[in-house]
C-alpha cells in the first residue's frame, strides 16, 4: 500500500505513514492495515516492540482523511462514517491495551486521528517541531479517537480548555497534558530507531530523553482552572465574559469559532468520564455516541463544508448564539442501544 509501509525490521514491527503531501492523513484502508499488522505481531515472538513513524517534516498525522466521510454523508449514507469510526476506535483501544511496547515518533502536526494512533502507546516521543491538538470542535465533531481519556486525566481543567478550543500543544505542553512522554531531539530519532530495531528494548529510550523547552500551559493553569470550572459550556462562557484578561478574550474568540453543540458536548463528556471508573473503552464508547449521530443530527457536514470543501470559513452552526439546551446535549450523548460500540474481535 503506497500510503503506508508495514514491515518487520530486526526485533521491531515497523509502521510508517508515507503520504507526507497529505500530511499523512489516515484513510480507512490505512486504519485497517495497521489493525491487521498489530493483531499479527501481538502473537509473534520475533517482534518485541512496535515503532510508529511517518515521512515528511510537517506532520506525523494531521488527522483522518475526511473527504470520503463528507461525500458519503452528503448523499445520506451515514453508515460509512459510522463504520469508519467504529473500526478506528477499536484500533485505538488495541494500541492502548497492547501487550508489547508501542513507540511513536510524533514530529510536526499530530491531530485528531493522528492522536488516536500516535498518543496511546507506551512510549510517545516528541521533538522540536511537535504540535499536538484535538481540533474537532472546529468541524462539528468532538475530541475522539480516545482523546477524551487524556483530556479527562489532564491536570485541573486543561482538558476542557484543550478540548473545546483546539489549542495546539508544543512538546512540553503535550507532556504536561498527558499526550506524550519523552522529549528527544529530532536529529537523534534515526539512530534511536536503529537501536530499538536491533535491541527490541524500549527501556533504552529514557537514556536519550531530556527536558523539553518551556511550554505555555504551566503559566496559564490557574486562569484555565478558574475559567473552565463550570458545569456547562454556559458556565464557562459566563466566566470568560466576566473577565477582562487577554487570556479570556483570546479563549472566547477561539470558542466562538467552533460548533456550539460540539463544545457543549465536549464539556459534558469530560465531566461524565472523569473519575475512578474511567477507562479507554468507556471514553471511546462515549465518543461514539456523538460521532454516530454527528452527520445526521450534529454539525459535522456543515463544518467540513465550511473548513475543507468551500473553505469560506463561515459555518452555519446550530445554536449560533452559543446557548445550547441541555436536552440537545443529552440527545447527542444518550446510549446507542443495539448500535453501541463494542470491542469484540472477529
Which active-site residues does the annotation give?
Answer: 64, 113, 136, 144
Grid cell at residue 283: 471514553
Contact 93, 281 (CB under 8 A): yes
CA distance 90 to 146: 10
Residues ≥6 apart with Cβ < 8 Å to 301? 70, 73, 74, 140, 295
Residues ≥6 apart with Cβ < 8 Å to 173? 132, 215, 216, 217
Strand runs (DSSP E) across the chain, as ranges? 4-9, 12-17, 49-54, 59-61, 102-106, 109-111, 123-126, 131-133, 182-183
CA distance 70 to 76: 10
Alpha helices in 145-232 (DSSP H): 147-153, 158-165, 171-177, 189-199, 217-227
Length of the chain: 346
- Residue of 106, 86, 253 whose CA lies nearest to 166: 253
**Residue 312: how many CB atoms within 10 A of its CB?**
9
**Residue 272: how many CB atoms within 10 A of its CB?**
16
85 to 113, 130, 187: CA distances (angstroms): 10, 25, 35
CA distance 237 to 256: 10
CA distance 233 to 239: 10
Amino acid at each position: 500500500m503506497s500510503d503506508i509501509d508495514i514491515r518487520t525490521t530486526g526485533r521491531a514491527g515497523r509502521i510508517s505513514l508515507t503520504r507526507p503531501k497529505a500530511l499523512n492523513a489516515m484513510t480507512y484502508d490505512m486504519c485497517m492495515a495497521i489493525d491487521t499488522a498489530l493483531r499479527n505481531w501481538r502473537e509473534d515472538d520475533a517482534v518485541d516492540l512496535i515503532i510508529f513513524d511517518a515521512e515528511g517534516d510537517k506532520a506525523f498525522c494531521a488527522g483522518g482523511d475526511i473527504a470520503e466521510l463528507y461525500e458519503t454523508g452528503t448523499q445520506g449514507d451515514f453508515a460509512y462514517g459510522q463504520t469508519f469510526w467504529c473500526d478506528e476506535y477499536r484500533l485505538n483501544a488495541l494500541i492502548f491495551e497492547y501487550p508489547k511496547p508501542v513507540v511513536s515518533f510524533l514530529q510536526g502536526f499530530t491531530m485528531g486521528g493522528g492522536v488516536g494512533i500516535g498518543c496511546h502507546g507506551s512510549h510517545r516521543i516528541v521533538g522540536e517541531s511537535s504540535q499536538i491538538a484535538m481540533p474537532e470542535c472546529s468541524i462539528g465533531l468532538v475530541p475522539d479517537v480516545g482523546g477524551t481519556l487524556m483530556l479527562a486525566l489532564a491536570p485541573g481543567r486543561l482538558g476542557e480548555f484543550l478540548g473545546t478550543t483546539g489549542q495546539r500543544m508544543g512538546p512540553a505542553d503535550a507532556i504536561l497534558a498527558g499526550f506524550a512522554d519523552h522529549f528527544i531531539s529530532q536529529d537523534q530519532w534515526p539512530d534511536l530507531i536503529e537501536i530499538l530495531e536491533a535491541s527490541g528494548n524500549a527501556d533504552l529510550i529514557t537514556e536519550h530523553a531530556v527536558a523539553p523547552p518551556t511550554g505555555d500551559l504551566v503559566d496559564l493553569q490557574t486562569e484555565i482552572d478558574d475559567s473552565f470550572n463550570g458545569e456547562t459550556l454556559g458556565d464557562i462562557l459566563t466566566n470568560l465574559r466576566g473577565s477582562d484578561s487577554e487570556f479570556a478574550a483570546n479563549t472566547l474568540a477561539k470558542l466562538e469559532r467552533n460548533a456550539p453543540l460540539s463544545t457543549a458536548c465536549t464539556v459534558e463528556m469530560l465531566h461524565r468520564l472523569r473519575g475512578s471508573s474511567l477507562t479507554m473503552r468507556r471514553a471511546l464508547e462515549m465518543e461514539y455516541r456523538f460521532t454516530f449521530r454527528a452527520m445526521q443530527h450534529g454539525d459535522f457536514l456543515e463544518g467540513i463544508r465550511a473548513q475543507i470543501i468551500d473553505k469560506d470559513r463561515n459555518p452555519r452552526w446550530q445554536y449560533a448564539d452559543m446557548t445550547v439546551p441541555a436536552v440537545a446535549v443529552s440527545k447527542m450523548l444518550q446510549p446507542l442501544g443495539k448500535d453501541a460500540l463494542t470491542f469484540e474481535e472477529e
